Amino acid sequence: MPRIGVFICHCGHNIAATVDVEKVVQFARTLPNVVFSSHNLYSCSEEGLAAIRKGIEENKLDRVVVAACTPRTHEPLFRRNCERAGVNKYLFEFVNIREHCSWIHAKEPEAATKKAMNLVAMGVAKAALLQPQTEGESNVIPVALVIGGGIAGLAAASALVSQGIETHIVEKESALGGMLREVHVIGPDMVDSRTLIDEYVKALERSPKAHIHLSSKISDLSGFIGNFEATISDGRCDEKVKVGTIIVATGGRELVPASGEFGYGSLTNVITQLELERRLARGEIPKSAVFIQCVGCRQPGREFCSRICCNASIKNAIRMLRAEPDASVSLLHRDIMSYGTAAERAYREASERGVNFIRFGLDRPPVVRQDGNRLTVAVFDENLEQELRIDTDLVVLATPIVPVEDVKELAKLLKVPIDRHGFFLEAHVKLRPVEFATEGIFICGSARWPSSVSECIAQGLAAATKASIPIREGRVIIEPITAYSDPEKCIACGNCVLACPYEAIEIVLFDGKRKAKVNEAKCKGCGNCVAACHNDAMEQKGFDTRQLGAMIDALIKSALEVSQ
Amino acid sequence: MSDFNPTILAFCCNWCSYAGADLAGVSRLQMPPNVHVIRVMCSASVKPEYVFKALSQGIDGVLVLGCHIGDCHYLTGNHRTAKRFPLAQKILGEIGLDERRLRLDWVSAAEGEKFQQVITEFVAEIKKLGPNPLREVRP
Amino acid sequence: MNELGRRLAEIAFTELKADYLLTTSREHGNVGPVFASRDEDLGEVTFDVPYQLVKILSRIYPWIPQGKIAIVARRCDEKALNELIKRGLFDAARIVLIGLACDAEQIAKCRCSDPAPSRVHFGTPNKGVEFDELAVRLQSMSHEERLNYWIGQFRKCNKCFGCTTNCPVCFCDDCVLEERTYVAEKGIPPGLAFHLVRAFHMADKCVECGECERSCPGDIPLLTLRKTVLKDMKELFGFSPGDQNSVSPLLTTLEGEPLEGDDDVC
């Protein structure tokens, strides 16, 4: 027989001003299995906690119900307090009679008191059926995996390696550096990209902790935080590695314009930004150029802004004009995204050097035509409200960064979400950046969203810091709110397998029969499987169907029957 | 009918609607005292069986409040919630219980005011519908 | 065995190369299931009386570790098998269907809207009927009238569990309705929760075979209730049970994907 103790909190005036605490204490004593009930001025104070411990000891309580504020703040505190007094942490139930009662029914003290009694009855009914639990623990393999050797991946890997963490870097090309290798000069400070890449690469090559896999891809992946197994394939042989955490830094690629778009592919000297980079690196500075921004983005089908293209075009325009001051450069745009002081300075410099910034609208894109051995660009300037005609040697199309082609495969392997463009979705933009909802996997760089070099580096470092935490701690705590299936009842109908957002449930053979099995380390305790299960074979610790059923019965008894 | 005080059950998910309810409390937003909250981790763990049980035993109304679609802490948990409860409502209707005694809504952790609004509206609606006709049928 | 039996055996064992056959035959005036292997006497095979052979198959399947089983299946049986196969409860490769088309009389009794099996070996396919008289009457009632109607009907329920025992897609060994968690009442009649929970569990798998209604000693019009819920499923999700490839909409995301993601996901 459970021995429940109920402690009603005054919370100073916060609860006591509206709820008749003494009445609730008396009522609690009448509830089944309650052997002791009392009240505290401030249950969370040292005095209050000590009083609870005393109540437990003197009355040999084995379950504790505290009716006070919200469990979202103080549940851990009261749980630890129970543990101190020898009661399992999970034989504790928190009833909210402040945020959910006294504070919101301030003008109805009688009704609020009645509701508090109902809520306490529900809490007591649940407490009677609670089971002691132990927190699970899972080990963490002290190795990290970085998928992608571009600037974000390089920054992440270097940060990990400098902490002494063994790291595998898997890069699909034959050299590290990613898209940055094709961009020779990084704006707005005109940093040489080769130097930047080499700095990172040399640091990695020097370190015994770094394992660089070039011309390689991840062909298989399984496991969960602390215990992933990845297969690295280089086309000839496969290497299986066991890692604790994973960072995705697969970057993006420049969108190639559609054939014929602004004359691409059909007219000569209509090129993309990266093709311009190559020409500039070779010393081929054109005498004139027209940049067309937002080619293939900020339009239906691909509504996003790729953030870096304006600055890239401005940077290249400045490079051209520094080398060839008399060059004629126009930049056709729908907005200039030169955010931050340095980029804004560059915008100004470009303007001062004579770059012609012309705004056009989505509904009236510029038209590019061949004119002898030159090109003509006709554009309707929205500010002047005038059609302009520009003769030029070169048209540069600034296209967005889009995800790499095989991103869907990788997302499937990792079981992480991608949006409809193929960019990876992080857990929460503000509360959980650079990490996936799936624990142990992190995301940085343009794979997440088109990012500048400095943003990629910052994100890479952030991801590395987060990825190093489980490795440093050496273990992951599994809160005992996971689901489990009773093999006696389970029919293996597969409902739970389909309902689980984490693919944490499998049908396995148990004594020769098909049964559902929950992977405790993958289970996040959402309870979706419990709702999907027809015969309560699947239960969630701490939220057992019988416990919730008893809460409903208690409410009915307290609210409906007493009033008759 | 004017002195009918409904008894209403609400399931709130830890990450969104329960937090939204807490916020309403912290903001001292006043609302009728008829609703009793059961905390769950995710609205997707709420079994329609609980609703059928509650209503067949005399509870006047049941609220299921989860995170907005796309914001579920457990990725797509609330997608299943969004399917189960409209069906549960239809079944209630087929039996002759008013579907409006079951309401599914989305309240985020930042929406204290929405929580107040949902509670106030739902209590008013249940008052209009009257006591659960099954109160008398209970054995 | 009779001529029908001989023809049936020919199809099952020679044509379809099955190792076993499950069908119905008449013995001592009653119709019952027959499970036979090649060369066994099938007795007086008859298809006159609807009999839930898929349920019988579920019971004996765990005891037949190998071999192909031919089963005489009406359209509802075919759909029931699909529902069970997609849940892994049968291995599709081991089941072969001998299609039985129902006659107009049976179709009318079941108010069946979908009576033609994919492949017909016996009987001539007939058109279904869309009309369930009681369903139409219930539709036009007010909530109060409807509730009174069903309370009156369910008062007759004595928890014989005939409906669950004979239902082909009701597959739990331990039925949750036998517990006290949701059905609070110890005695009979059980409260409405019993019938509401059953209706919910059946919503995404009921094949309208009508066995529940035929089995009910209280003559509760369960088939009508099932049909109204199936109509709701169709309206809400565009979903009808009975297809091997469709996943229950209750278990998929809003976009219909069975796994993760808000937007388009892999």
Q: What is the DSSP string of A109-163?
A: HHHHHHHHHHHHHHHHHHHHH------EEEE--SEEEEE--BHHHHHHHHHHHHT
| Residue of B9, B37, B77 with shortest CB distance to A528 | B77
Q: Identify the pLDDT of residue B109.
A: 78
Backbone angles phi, psi at A555, to 5 degrees: -65, -45
Q: Is A514 on the interface with C (CB under 8 A)?
A: yes
| Residue of C138, C182, C233 with shortest CB distance to B53 | C182
Closest CA to B60 of B101, B90, B89: B101
pLDDT under 50: residue ranges of chain B? 138-139
Average pLDDT over residues A410-414: 82
| Residue of A415, A489, A498 with shortest CB distance to C258 | A498
> For an interface test with B, which of A94, A97, A104 has the most B Cβ atoms less than 10 Å from its Cβ?
A104
Q: Is A490 on the interface with C (CB under 8 A)?
A: no
Q: Identify the pLDDT of residue B139.
A: 40
Cα A170 off chain centre by: 22
Q: Identify the pLDDT of residue A430.
A: 67
Chain A residues inside the 8 Å CB shell of B41: 481, 525-527, 540, 543
Residue C19 Cα distances to A56, C70, C92, C99, C108, angstroms: 68, 8, 15, 17, 34
The share of chain A scoring above pLDDT 70, in percent, equals 99
> Å from A119 to nearest chain B CA?
7
Residue C196, beta-bridge partner list:
none
> Å from B57 to nearest chain A CA?
8
* Residue A538 per-residue DSSP state: E
Residues 6+ apart with CB under 8 A from A283: none
Q: Identify the pLDDT of residue C219.
A: 97
Contact predicate C105/C47, CB 8 Å = no
pLDDT tens for each residue of A260-301: 999 999 999 999 999 999 999 999 999 999 999 999 999 998
Residue of chain B whose alpha carbon sits nearest to that of A116: B36
Q: Is the pLDDT of residue A393 over 90?
A: yes
Residue B105 Cα distances to A96, A496, B115, angstroms: 21, 24, 9
Q: Is A18 on the interface with B (CB under 8 A)?
A: no
Residue A91 DSSP SS3: coil
| Residue of A103, A528, A553 with shortest CB distance to B74 | A528
Residue of chain A whose alpha carbon sits nearest to that of C202: A534
Chain A residues inside the 8 Å CB shell of B76: 501
Chain B residues inside the 8 Å CB shell of A540: 41, 45
Domain ranges of chain B: 8-132
Contact predicate A207/A183, CB 8 Å = no
Chain B residues inside the 8 Å CB shell of A549: 50, 53
Chain C residues inside the 8 Å CB shell of B87: 200, 203, 232-233, 236, 250
- Look at strands A374-381 and A386-392 and give their pairing: antiparallel
Burial of residue A430 (number of CB atoms within 10 Å: 0-12, 13-18, 19+): exposed
A37 token code pair: 């009930």
pLDDT under 70: residue ranges of chain C? 256-266
Cα C217 off chain centre by: 18
Q: Is A399 on the interface with B (CB under 8 A)?
A: no
Instruction: State whether A425 and C263 contact (CB < 8 Å).
Output: yes
Of all helices (H) and strands (E), which one includes residue C124?
Answer: none
Considering the four listed CATH numbers 3.30.2010.10, 3.30.540.10, 3.40.50.300, 3.30.70.20, the one that applies to the domain covering A482-540 is 3.30.70.20
pLDDT range class, residue A562, cuts 50, 70, 90: low
Cα C227 off chain centre by: 12
Distance CA A558, CA B128 (A): 23
CA dihedral for B48, B49, B51, B55, sign (positive or negative): positive
Considering the four listed CATH numbers 1.10.101, 3.40.50, 2.60.40, 1.10.575, the one that applies to the domain covering A4-134 is 3.40.50
> Å from B49 to nearest chain A CA?
9
Q: Is the pLDDT of residue A116 over 60?
A: yes
Q: Is the pLDDT of residue A377 over 90?
A: yes
Q: Identify the pLDDT of residue A564.
A: 36
Chain C residues inside the 8 Å CB shell of B83: 236-237, 249-250, 252, 254
| Residue of C151, C196, C259 with shortest CB distance to B91 | C196
Q: Identify the pLDDT of residue B137.
A: 54
Residue A110, beta-bridge partner list:
none
Considering the four listed CATH numbers 3.40.50, 3.30.530, 3.30.70, 3.90.920, the one that applies to the domain covering B8-132 is 3.40.50
Q: Identify the pLDDT of residue C262.
A: 33
Distance CA C97, CA C120 (A): 9
Q: Is A498 on the interface with C (CB under 8 A)?
A: yes
Closest CA to C88 of A536, A514, A532, A533: A514
Instruction: State whether B96 and C145 contact (CB < 8 Å).
Output: yes
A256-399: CATH topology: FAD/NAD(P)-binding domain (3.50.50)
> Å from B79 to nearest chain A CA?
10
Distance CA B35, CA A218 (A): 52
> Å from A124 to nearest chain B CA?
13
Q: Is the pLDDT of residue A534 over 80?
A: yes
Instruction: State whether A420 and C174 contact (CB < 8 Å).
Output: no
Average pLDDT over residues A190-201: 95
Please list the alpha-helical segments (H only) found in A184-244: 193-206
B2 token code pair: 């004017």
Distance CA C232, CA C235 (A): 5
Contact predicate B99/B112, CB 8 Å = no
Chains with 3+ CB–CB pairs under 8 A to C are A, B
| Residue of A408, A425, A493 with shortest CB distance to C171 | A493
Residue A515, beta-bridge partner list:
A508
Cα C210 off chain centre by: 7
Backbone angles phi, psi at C15, to 5 degrees: -70, -50
Q: Identify the pLDDT of residue B110.
A: 75
> Å from B69 to nearest chain A CA?
14
User: Range(s) for CATH 3.40.50 in chain A?
Assistant: 4-134
Q: Of residues A128 and C29, which shows the higher confidence score?
A: A128
- Chain C residues whose C-beta is within 8 A of a chain A C-beta are 87-89, 171-176, 179-182, 184, 201, 247-248, 250-252, 258-266
Neighbours of B61 (CB within 10 A): 26
Considering the four listed CATH numbers 3.30.465.10, 3.50.50.60, 3.30.2320.80, 3.75.10.10, the one that applies to the domain covering A143-253+402-475 is 3.50.50.60
pLDDT range class, residue A16, cuts 50, 70, 90: very high
Residue A533 Cα distances to A375, A492, A497, B87, C87, angstroms: 67, 10, 10, 16, 13
Gyration radius from chain B CA atoms: 14
Burial of residue A34 (number of CB atoms within 10 Å: 0-12, 13-18, 19+): buried
> Å from C259 to nearest chain A CA?
6
Q: Identify the pLDDT of residue C261.
A: 33
Closest CA to C215 of C29, C58, C51: C51
Chain A residues inside the 8 Å CB shell of C260: 415, 417, 501
- Look at strands A245-248 and A143-147 and give their pairing: parallel
Distance CA C222, CA C230 (A): 12
Cα A97 off chain centre by: 34
pLDDT tens for each residue of A148-185: 999 999 999 999 999 999 999 999 999 999 999 999 99
> Å from B102 to nearest chain C CA?
13
Chain A residues inside the 8 Å CB shell of B21: 99-100
Q: Taking chain B, what is the end-to-end CA distance rounded to the nearest angstrom?
A: 24
Q: Identify the pLDDT of residue C257.
A: 59
> For an interface test with A, which of B3, B9, B47 has the most A Cβ atoms less than 10 Å from its Cβ?
B47
pLDDT tens for each residue of A435-464: 987 789 999 999 999 999 999 999 999 999
Q: Identify the pLDDT of residue A48.
A: 96
Instruction: State whether A540 and B45 contact (CB < 8 Å).
Output: yes
Q: Is A240 on the interface with C (CB under 8 A)?
A: no
Residue C10 Cα distances to C17, C34, C39, C125, C128, angstroms: 9, 16, 10, 21, 29
Chains with 3+ CB–CB pairs under 8 A to A are B, C
Q: Is B92 on the interface with A (CB under 8 A)?
A: no
| Residue of C171, C181, C263 with shortest CB distance to A546 | C181
